[in-house]
Structure 1
Amino acid sequence: MEKRLTLQKEVYTYALIIGFIPLFITIWLLQLSVNQTLEKRIESEAIDIATQVSKNASVINTFSQILPDRNLLQTIANDLRERKGAHVVFLDMYGKALIDPYPPNYGLQIIGKEKGRALKGETYTTILEGDTGRAIRAFAPIMNTSDRQKGVVVVAFLEPDIKTILSQFYNSIAKAVPIAIILIITLSTMLSRSIKRRIFGMEPIEIATLLLEKESLLHSVTEAIIATDKDYNIKIANEAALSLFPNNTNIIGENLMQLIPEYKFDNIIKNKQPEYNRQLLINGEIFLANTSPMIMNNKHLGIVITLRNRTEVKDLAEELTGVKRIVDALRAKTHDFSNKLHVIYGLLEHGHYREAERYVDRLAQEKSLINSVVNNIQITSVRELLLGKASESEEKKVNLIIDSESFLFELPEVFDENSMIIVLGNLIDNAFEAVEKHPENSSVFVSIKQDEKKIELIVRDNGYPIPKENIEKIFEAGFTTKPNGSGFGLYNVKTQVNLAKGTISLTSDDYETTFIVTIPFPIFKKKAGEKCE
């Protein structure tokens, strides 16, 4: 896998590049500009000096003489050399130097071969490339009072002198560049750290992964989730939230307070505390709302609200706690009792008193038999569950056999009545569904036994066997072979058994399917321990 720079290093690197490239381009352009400007400035200064010298009264007077005063001319040249850095040479009308150049070996470079124009009275500048480098020269004629030319003054700036001026500029640049580099590095570091801090130290790939995970998580949950900005305008809503409103309603961008006007969200923001299980009426259905404020640096950014149908929550709670099992069992028992009353009423209404008497005697015998079995179950909810399942089995025409030796008098704290109802109710319901496909001679056997070490539950049916490939997966969450199954029935059974540190086994063949649940509960050791205390 290709190794990439971290975002902070990448930003830092690009910031340095963005900083250094303009810096170096600026230095390069500045150097070109300075060279050109300096050259023009020197040319201008040279021509000015040459013009001033040619009009100097002392120079004009000495050139008006037959033999000009060379000492005077040398003094003027030396003075200009010290004050202006210019090399000055005076020529007579034959082009011969009247004073020695300073320094002497620069004479040819200063005078050059272009003096002819100067001897004709022209003022001009030239640039000469010589052995010792470039020389910028200015020529000016020396005119007497009668406006007759008597000589020429040559003013030159040599490359060593130009380099001295440029070196001063480069020294200034050399001092400024390190400061600029330090500033670029410092600002690049600050920028990279600031960007890293603003995205909470995460890398782009981590942000992208987090976004995908958030989207997947948001749309995978069954609860409706809505997030708003600080003005309660909806910014995020999952599919479950969109389904709460009419199909043509696009709630993104809508104001949540207008969609749910009865809910006052200001109190949540004011208290800066979440609110749980608030009941709201939305499109004629009651939902439970959990609302949390989004606050960062003590600033209100918005809210997140989750909505769940109260009926679904109620059904799920009943399923998980085992209440539904008992309710269904009691409903079946009530329905069975009602049917039997209708039979007795019908017999009496038509005068079949003897048949009615025999029917009541038979019911009494059946009731006595069932009661004799379940009376050994001293846990009331478990006993009522078995009685209800007995009535349900009659409705479904299933032969429910409760082991006559069943016995249960106490449950451990880690496997209380709710756990028992969940485990026993699910196993019996699954057994009923299995034998429904095998109506002839269908039977379900239930045994509950308790001894000094454990509680053992056995549920056996002679329905269709469980395929071998499903036996390993049957206790997994979400696995189901039923068209409308949730896949959490046997998963809840396994969870309750595991919490009690018990075991559950399953065998299935062509003849029968058997579930055996064992819950460790050393009851007599417990009693002895209590007495010792």
Structure 2
Amino acid sequence: MQEDLPGASVRRAPGTTRHRNEEVPVKPIRFRAGRGGRRRLSTRILANELAILALTGLIGFVLFAFVQRAELDRSYEQRALAIASIAAADPQIRHATEYGDPTHVVQPVAQRICKAAHASYVVVIDLHGVRHSHPMPSLIGKRVAEPIVVRDGRTHVGIDQGALGRSANAKAPLTSTSGALVGEVSVGIPERAVLSELWFELPTFGLYAAIATAIGAAAASLLARRLKRTTFGLELEEIACLLQDREAMLHGIREGVVAVSPDGRITVVNDEARRLLGIGTALGQRLDELLPDGRLRRALDGTLTGTDVSVLTDDHCLVVNRMPVSLQGRALGAVVTVRDRTELIGLLRELDSVRGLTDALRAQQHEFTNRMHTLAGLLDIGEHESAYDYAIETARSGQALTEAVRRHIGNSLMVGLIVAKSTVAAERGVTIALTDDSALGDDPPHLRRLLTIVGNLLDNAVDATAEAPRPEEGRRILLTVTEADDLIVVRVADNGRGIAPGTAQSIFEDGWSTRPERGTARRGLGLALVHRLVQRHGGTITVSEGPGAVFTVVLPQPGAEPARQGALFTKALPMGSDLG
């Protein structure tokens, strides 16, 4: 930011903005039908939900069928085991098998048990693998191909792919009356029995799946309607386009935009706002977590009221506007716009400088015209000797002010500034005098900052003095500029109204002023700029309260020792006004 900016305002065309405290209502977007042949968002959501429900229902149905089939297999295996255990406990079968079944009683008994239990087969096998019963009589007396599995004395279950087809099979050990193992009993229940029961149970589960699908479809329809209301009837493509347009607009405009939620958290911030405020990403953070307490944070959080609040930062001169936002009576937070006016205010400062120079030239031209008229009148009446003396006196008096300043100030830029300010002040009836203890070298450090500080303080003093009632001794301003080995002290004292008690610190805030705005420049930035310049370079600025303000600025010299700075600063503070 230019260091010589006194501050200025940018005027807005009437009717282009609301008052910053006026709540901005957001109108809800009405529902619109889908464009062209594209299906609406609600229709797509419902179709997708139905497809998902149908797919998951089908997968669930298939999984249930497999699980139920396995469960029925286990159930029928246990049923077959129970039948096999009953057959193995039959005394006739046990006795006949022990002695090789010479009377052939095993087959009738086994058939009777098979018929009573609705089994597919009941096969009795001795330890030699010879069948003593079988649904196919031709196989009785023949050996089985597989080994006897009950030799371990335990029962066995499983699925058997036998001569009669797939069946749930169970094998139980067959013992004699003495308890010795003599064979095994194999029982099977046909697959058709398992499938018939499975098909009997599947419709019930199908009904549950259909009910779940219907409930899911109803829930999907309600969800689609809710999403439709939430998105204001916008379709997916329109939402994507809005997001792209928003991002392009936010990050493409030259103004900073910050959206703040009702709880003070940042929800939207564009690149320009990050640059101007120096807040980084900032999303989801509170303002008090990002910025220190000061005028900038108070302007952003709404503590400061008013339109176009001017804020000075270390790098920019900003104009901040904050507007609350609501939707259907519900507070949504606020939108803050931040505009960079650094270059504009710099141009306004240059314009004010040109205006001051113009005023000074006009005053000099007016005085020169009066002198020329006087000289011409003396020549007309023939007072040539008096005209000569008057011309010599006028030439000497024109250089008196410049020579008086040059005796104490070695730098020509500072001399020109003081002489120009004195000329402009004289036109307003104010006298600027340089004190005898002033002393500034040809090339002082902080020259640019000194020019800004002295210029702003003199402008402020001239305005305050010219607008105050004229005292008996006249409107006067005393300027002191002292350069020491460690410090530079600037003191400006006037005999105006002064500073009201209790406002000594407030006058250095951005926008503080006791005078109304003028045509091009916003009041209240000059002293704030001086305060920032002084603090940025390790100096101090103080002001006296009461009638007749006295501003004292102390700037350390580069490389000065802190102890020496403190001693000279303490010595500089008691300096008061000699204006009465």
TM-score (norm 2): 0.41
- Relative to the length of structure 1, the TM-score reads 0.44
Larger relative contact order, structure 1 or 2 (CA cutoff 8 Å, min sep 6): 2
